Every structure is written in structure tokens, then in C-alpha cells.
Amino acid sequence: MLRDFQLADGFTLANAFCGTGAIFAAMRFLQDGRSGDLLLGMALIPLAFVFDALDGRVARWRKSSSTLGRELDSLADVISFGVAPAALAYACGMQGGWDWLVLSYFVGCGVSRLARYNVTAEQLSDGQDKVRYFEGTPIPTSLALVVLLAVAAAQGRIGHGLWWGQWQLGPWQLHPLVSLFAVSGSLMISKTLRIPKP
């Protein structure tokens, strides 16, 4: 199978590698409590973003875009910009029952958004080489959430010191900061929000 991969697919796999590394770094932080592991995981997401931007440019430069490449790109994006930010948020202290639901909703929105993109890409391109606009925000915009978490971590505002504190709602806890993930996920699945693709 690897023989069928194009050069651009190597950048896509590097994106997925960074996202997976971020998830492992979050787990390592939860195990050992070393803030360096958490910050390393957060640093891998901007690197994943760079690889995500490069794979499309390389594919266009080499005129080697393919259906396999598009599917591979979506799967890598789910890891790096869906699951990894949710794992980092959990590691930062968003561990209440309501937090779990919101973070799972966020990942579900990312998966749904990418599936919709793959199904409608040809329709949205109007016969051109690339899609003219995004329906809903692209999943890599979750990088902004990771940057916010990195600022909180650098200031020591994680765990019990998480910004905006925590609420007890019924049997579970909610950290209001997790609402940003709910907003981000909702914007990803918006049908009316159209963003021109550069």
C-alpha cells in the first residue's frame, strides 16, 4: 500500500504523527505530572498544522491529488485537530462528567464536518481543481483552543486553577472553559457559515 502513497501523503502522515504524539504527551502528563510533557504535546499541534498546510501545497505542486490523499488528510486531521485538543483539554483539568460530554461532542463535530467535506468536495468545487469555500469552520481552527490551553498551562492555570473555575451541576462537574470547545464544534458543523478557501 505504501507504494501508492504520494509525497504529499508523507506530510499528511507527519500531521497524524504529531497529533498522536500530542495524545501520548497528554497521557504522560496525567501519569507523571511533568508540565514539560503537556507543553510538548501542545507544541506538536502547531507543527501538525504546518504539515497539514504543506500536504495540500505539495499535492498541487506535483499535481498528485487523489481521493486516497483526501481521505488520509481527513483522518489525520481528526487525530491532530479533534482528538488531540480534546485529550489536552482533559489533561489540563476538564475532567468532569459534563466536560467529557462536551469534549466528545467537539470530536463528533470534527468527524462530522470532515465527512461532510469529503462527500461534498466535488460539488463545492464546481468543476475546479479545489473547493472554493468551507461550509463551517475548518477543523484546524481548533489550533486556537490549543494555544489558549498552552497560555493557561504556562501560567499554571490548569487543574484546580483552571480559568473560570468549576461548577457542580447535578451529579457531575462542569468547567466553564470547556464551553469554548462546544462553540468551536458547533461552528464546524454550521451549514450557513461559509468561509472562502485560500
Ranking 50-59, 68-77, 87-96, 145-154 by mean pLDDT, the lowest is 50-59
Q: State the chain's maximal CA–CA distance in angstroms.
A: 56
pTM of the model: 0.90
- Report, in angstroms and rounded to the nearest whole number, the Rg of the chain calculated over CA atoms: 18
Phi then psi dihedrals of residue 106, to 5 deg: -60, -50
Q: Is 163 within 8 Å of 45 (Cβ atoms)? A: no
- For 103-135, write each residue's pLDDT tens digit: 999 999 999 999 988 887 666 655 555 667 778
- For 132-163, write each residue's pLDDT tens digit: 777 899 999 999 999 999 999 999 999 999 99
pLDDT for res 62: 58
Ranking 4-18, 29-43, 179-193 by mean pLDDT, the lowest is 4-18
Residue 73 confidence (pLDDT) above 60: yes
Indicate the domain borders of the chain.
2-196
The fold of the 2-196 domain, in CATH, is Four Helix Bundle (Hemerythrin (Met), subunit A) (1.20.120)
Residues 6+ apart with CB under 8 A from 198: none
